[in-house]
Amino acid sequence: MTARQPDSEAATPSPEQWPDLSLLTRHIIDTHHRYVRTALPSITASLHQLVSQASASAPELMRVREIFVALGEELYAHMAKEEQILFPYIDELAGAKRQGSTPPPSPFGTIANPVRMMEEDHEQALEQVQRLRELTNDYSTPADGTADHRRCLSELAAFDADLQRHTTLENTVLFPRALDLEDGMA
């Protein structure tokens, strides 16, 4: 099964589109996190299958699989931290703002602390994706590549594109606005 990518228009960052940050955290979970959770097992299975059909390009494919599996493990852990720690606190800040009440105490001091950790995770994930791009020559199928090979690379390219949109939305819209929200309520 091919994981369907979230609609790119719906994922385009636009601050006016998110009057309440809890709508944005919900959007990220419902589109990008859901897509990552569907695509990771599907692409991993495709890579296992491709590697098992050994060909001249197998060494690169094995490396691609190794990096992708490691990236997947990191992303599962990363999304869990966002969904269990950072996003719920952003939702609480947004709720306090809505109700004009005092923000709840956070378990991690300023929100800048978990935000910095998430940004570091993003940087690492994007570095790994960059290595995938290099190893596959920008996801181009080798001359002797099969239809399965082509399909797998196009799924990887879609995964790469979604991760760029996902991390950009968090780094350039969600996190700066959450920091502003916290500042404004201090």
Give the whole-angstrom CA distance, residue 139 versus residue 149. 10
Q: Supply 144's token pair.
A: 């002797």
Judged by CB, which is closer to Fe ion: 82, or 162?
Answer: 82
Q: How far is the CB of 34 from Fe ion (least distance, A)?
A: 11
Contacts with Fe ion by CB under 5 A lie at 82, 170
Judged by CB, which is closer to Fe ion: 80, or 185?
Answer: 80
Q: How far is the CB of 82 from Fe ion (least distance, A)?
A: 5
Q: How far is the CB of 10 from Fe ion (least distance, A)?
A: 15
Judged by CB, which is closer to Fe ion: 162, or 182?
Answer: 162
Judged by CB, which is closer to Fe ion: 12, or 146?
Answer: 12
Residue nearest to Fe ion (CB): 170
Q: How far is the CB of 83 from Fe ion (least distance, A)?
A: 8
Q: How far is the CB of 33 from Fe ion (least distance, A)?
A: 6
Give the whole-angstrom CA distance, residue 118 versus residue 171. 9
Give the whole-angstrom CA distance, residue 152 versus residue 58. 14
Judged by CB, which is closer to Fe ion: 32, or 149?
Answer: 32
Tracing tokens 């390009």 back to the chain, one arrives at: 57
Give the whole-angstrom CA distance, residue 186 versus residue 181. 9
Q: C-alpha distances in angstroms, 10 versus 26, 72, 124, 155, 166?
A: 13, 24, 25, 20, 11
The DSSP call for residue 137 is T
